[in-house]
Amino acid sequence: MGEVSTIGLDLAKNVFQVHGADASGAVLFRKKLRRHQVLTFFAAQPSCTVAMEACGSSHYWAREIRRLGHQVRLIPPAYVKPFVKRQKNDAADAEAICEAAQRPTMRFVAPKSEQAQAAAIVFRARDLLVRQRTQIINALRGHLAEFGLIVAKGPAHVPHLVQAVEDEAEPIPELARPILRMLVATLHRLDEQIAGLDREVARRAKEDETARRLMTIPGVGPVTAVALAALAPPAETLRCGRDFAAWVGLTPLQRSTGGKQKLGATSKMGERTLRRLLIIGANSVLLQVARNGAPSGSWIARMVAHKPPMLVRVALANKMARIVWALLARGEVYRAPAAAA
């Protein structure tokens, strides 16, 4: 029996599955482990490659297992799925992870540090609160519409919703008014919490040198800059800006065959928080172009003149993503391109 070379670890909450193989891929062992047995098991193994699917808890286990002297590889789940044979279960998943890790062309995810994961929580929390605020606003609008009170959509019209609830002259049944006031109070509390998170993001943007450099890019504000600094992978793990744009999910899907290129819709395969922020930033740039105009003959002027608005937003977000990678990789600030003579 050969020495273990690669171990596939199928993560779970309580019961984990491991699959060990030697350098030739021959199976050496299959085991089930309880959560408290995982680190003890890997401490007894010789130094080898431990592979896991990239997920929320995988970065924690990557850090812990790496401390035991092993080399850790995190694989996107979509790249593991083709190696699962017929039935799906924990043992088959662990075997598929082990086989995928042994492929010479496999792509891996860089494990995140505790600080990187902690820095990302502010954006996850903010997104959650913003979604809850949107739900409350939509609920208020829908409930008031049942009583003939119609308020236009958009955050600018929220005060009209609140005023309608508080105004005793409005035709709202007294049975419903206390509940609607409870929703309004929840809305005010969410506004305060989101404002507090915005202040925290602004503070980080001032203190972080990388975020300050990223904010020199048109369309990149404090929220986007801090999100890029916290969520983007190390620049050295990607070959070029095009790879970073693909990692964010701002490149078209390919269905090419027979030597013919067939490009589809935007892939959306990547970090959706960064993708959304970059598209919002691109939209702000386009609004400024609509007000002030673009230089004659420039790329953005040609795109705006001949392409649909959403396509221009995504294309500009793609260009912004490439610029972001260049600044992260080279440690520079944004310099606007010189106008053509």
Tell me the per-residue pLDDT of 279-315, one tens digit each, with 9 for 90 and over.
999 999 999 998 888 888 788 888 998 899 999 999 9
Q: Which of these three, 47, 69, 101, is where a domain ends?
A: 101
Looking at the structure, tell me whether residues 148 and 174 fall in a common domain.
yes
Q: Which of these three, 207, 236, 252, is where a domain ends?
A: 207
Tell me the CATH number at 85: 3.30.420.140
Q: Which two structure tokens, joined as six digits, stand for 53?
A: 């699917």
Structure confidence at residue 339 (pLDDT): 55
Q: Which of these three, 147, 181, 207, is where a domain ends?
A: 207
Within a domain: residue 340?
Answer: no
Looking at the structure, tell me whether residues 140 and 81 fall in a common domain.
no
- Provide CB contacts within 8 A for 216, sequence distance 6+: 327, 333, 334
pLDDT band at 341 (very low <50, low <70, confident <90, very high): very low
Per residue in 28-50, pLDDT (tens digit) is 999 999 999 999 999 999 999 99
Within a domain: residue 106?
Answer: no
Q: Which two structure tokens, joined as six digits, stand for 212?
A: 């300050």
Within a domain: residue 59?
Answer: yes
Within a domain: residue 318?
Answer: yes
pLDDT band at 338 (very low <50, low <70, confident <90, very high): low
Q: For residue 287, give Cα distances in angstroms to 219, 290, 295.
A: 10, 5, 15
Given the DSSP bridges, would you call strands 6-10 and 15-21 parallel, antiparallel or unpaired? antiparallel
Looking at the structure, tell me whether residues 295 and 239 fall in a common domain.
yes
Structure confidence at residue 287 (pLDDT): 93
Per residue in 80-125, pLDDT (tens digit) is 999 998 888 999 999 999 999 999 999 999 899 999 899 889 989 9
Within a domain: residue 107?
Answer: no
Structure confidence at residue 261 (pLDDT): 84
Looking at the structure, tell me whether residues 200 and 220 fall in a common domain.
no
Within a domain: residue 339?
Answer: no
φ/ψ of residue 13, rounded to 5: -80, -45
Confidence (pTM):
0.83
The domain total for the chain is 3
- Provide CB contacts within 8 A for 319, sequence distance 6+: none
Q: Which residue range is the domain that position 307 belongs to?
A: 216-330
Within a domain: residue 171?
Answer: yes
Q: What is the largest CA-CA distance in the chain?
A: 85
